[in-house]
Amino acid sequence: MRIVVPLSARGNVTIVTRAVSQKLSESLGQQFIVDNRPDASGVIGTEIVARAPPDGDTVLVAANTLVSTPGLVAEVPTTRCATSSA
């Protein structure tokens, strides 16, 4: 499984994602790859996930700063969006 983090590899989100992915790998016996794509205010990493095949093998882990990106960037790729309901 590929986990895309559209932030710096030295940031808190990446540190937590790497720790969680390691535990998931141990628990599930599946490899989790953390892929940092820290450019364009998170747009590049988000676009990679939006364009990935819808097979569940690519996920996005991001900070709440991505909420402000649509107000700052003319074209934000939002072709698919997964939501969860409680």
CA distance 22 to 33: 9
Percent of the chain predicted with pLDDT > 70: 73
One-letter identity of residue 15: I
| CA 49 to chain CA mean position, Å | 7
State the Cα–Cα distance between residues 75 and 73, nearest whole angstrom.
6
Mean pLDDT of 52-63: 90
Give pLDDT, residue 84: 45
For residue 64, name the pLDDT band (cuts at 50, 70, 90). low
Q: What is the pLDDT of residues 10-22, one digit of tens each?
A: 888 899 999 999 9
Q: Where in the chain are the domains?
A: 2-72
Among residues 39, 43, 85, the alpha carbon closest in space to that of 60 is found at 43
In CATH, the architecture of 2-72 is 3-Layer(aba) Sandwich (3.40)
Write down the pLDDT at residue 9: 87
